[in-house]
């Protein structure tokens, strides 16, 4: 499983980049790979935070837990990062 740990939002958080994360991202955003590539390129300011949210949330799902953060939290963490 490809992953990275980032200190963001005041905590070390694991972001997963495997098939589970990607499948969930596409399902939850109602896109397919061709749409996703086009949309991500057209508006990375929307899609990068979404990717980060679903990537980090997937770790919680793998453990049978509910994420303790929202998409808006991820946007705020990015905005607050130095």
Q: 3-32: per-residue pLDDT in tens?
A: 999 999 999 999 999 999 999 999 999 999
Single pTM value for the model: 0.89
> pLDDT tens digits, residue range 54-71?
999 999 999 999 999 999
Distance CA 31, CA 45 (A): 17
Distances (CA, A) of 25 to 34, 64, 82: 13, 18, 27
């Amino acid at each position: 499983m490809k992953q990275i740990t980032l200190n963001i939002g005041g905590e070390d958080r694991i972001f997963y980049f495997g098939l589970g994360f990607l499948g969930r991202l596409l399902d939850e955003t109602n896109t397919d790979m061709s749409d996703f590539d086009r949309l991500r390129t057209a508006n990375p300011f929307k899609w990068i935070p979404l990717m980060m949210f679903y990537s980090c949330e997937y770790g919680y799902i793998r453990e049978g837990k509910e994420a303790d953060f929202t998409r808006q939290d991820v946007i705020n963490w990015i905005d607050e990062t130095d």
